[in-house]
Amino acid sequence: MRGAGIGLIGLLLAGGIIFYMMWGGSGNPGYVRPALEAKRDAEVMTNAVSGRDEKGAAVTESITYEMSNKGAVVKTVVAGGAMDKKYGLKPGDVITEIGPLGVDQFGGSQGSAGEFMQASYARPESWTVLRGGQKIRLPEERDTPVSNTAASNTPAPTAATQEPAAPGVAPVQRMNPKKQALDVVKQIEQH
């Protein structure tokens, strides 16, 4: 009997030491906790880089949209979903630019738009959206109140804008930085 009691105590002691080494105790994190934290951090980073939310779902699953000649028209937005949290998209928004590219520049197909949305979500890029007839940048202006009487008489922005000049001096042409970047890309593609 005595040998069995010592064996049982030895077994319990060995189990306690193994538990302490794996899960840690006061002042010792063990091996399992840091590994689980590293796994969680890696999943968060991987999801962010691949355009997925914290649950691993593609961010484009949090909205439905249709392509039109104006852009991608948002039909529904999942409340608390990835697109709601990051961009504050609302039904009726018309996505006209994703990052530096206009929706018309990537073929205008639903699949291409979704791919660009997913890729852009992973980067710190702004989107241009028409909301209530007013052009806003998301996520920066997501909380900007939109008036129903948006300036429809305002001319569309051009690639170059004119700086006011002194009398007798020709106006200076200033290029839109997005337009400049796209022109460089097009020149590279032509070579």
Spatial separation of the C-alpha atoms in residues 176 and 71, rounded to whole Å: 20
Sign, CA dihedral 60-66-72-77, equals negative
Are 103 and 131 within one domain? yes
Query: Are the CB atoms for 63 and 81 separated by under 8 Å?
Result: yes
In a domain, 159, yes or no: no
Are 131 and 69 within one domain? yes
What Cα–Cα distance (Å) separates residue 75 from each residue in 66, 92, 138, 181?
A: 7, 6, 17, 31
In a domain, 182, yes or no: no
46-74 mean pLDDT: 82
| Mean of all residue pLDDT scores within the chain | 75
Q: What is the pTM of this model?
A: 0.54
Domain, as residue range, for 80: 62-138
107: region left, alpha or beta (phi > 0 left; psi from -120 to 50 alpha): left
In a domain, 83, yes or no: yes
Spatial separation of the C-alpha atoms in residues 53 and 60, rounded to whole Å: 10
Helix axes 2-23, 32-49, angle to 10 degrees: 30
Highest mean pLDDT among 23-27, 40-44, 51-55, 61-65: 61-65
pLDDT tens digits, residue range 148-177?
544 444 444 444 444 444 455 444 445 555
Look-up of token digits 């097009």 = 186
| pLDDT of 116 strictly over 50 | yes
Are 41 and 73 within one domain? no
In a domain, 56, yes or no: no
Spatial separation of the C-alpha atoms in residues 42 and 167, rounded to whole Å: 60
Are 84 and 118 within one domain? yes
Which string of DSSP letters, residue by residue, matches 123-138?
Answer: TT--EEEEETTEEEEE
Are 76 and 28 within one domain? no
Which string of DSSP letters, residue by residue, matches 24-47?
Answer: -BTTB-TTHHHHHHHHHHHHHHHH
In a domain, 152, yes or no: no
In a domain, 17, yes or no: yes
77: region left, alpha or beta (phi > 0 left; psi from -120 to 50 alpha): beta
Which of 118, 138, 158 is the C-terminal boundary of a domain?
Answer: 138
Are 73 and 41 within one domain? no
Are 43 and 77 within one domain? no
**What confidence tier does 135 reach under pLDDT thresholds 50, 70, 90?**
very high
In a domain, 153, yes or no: no
Are 66 and 37 within one domain? no
In a domain, 126, yes or no: yes
Number of folded domains that form the chain: 2
| CATH (domain of 73) | 2.30.42.10
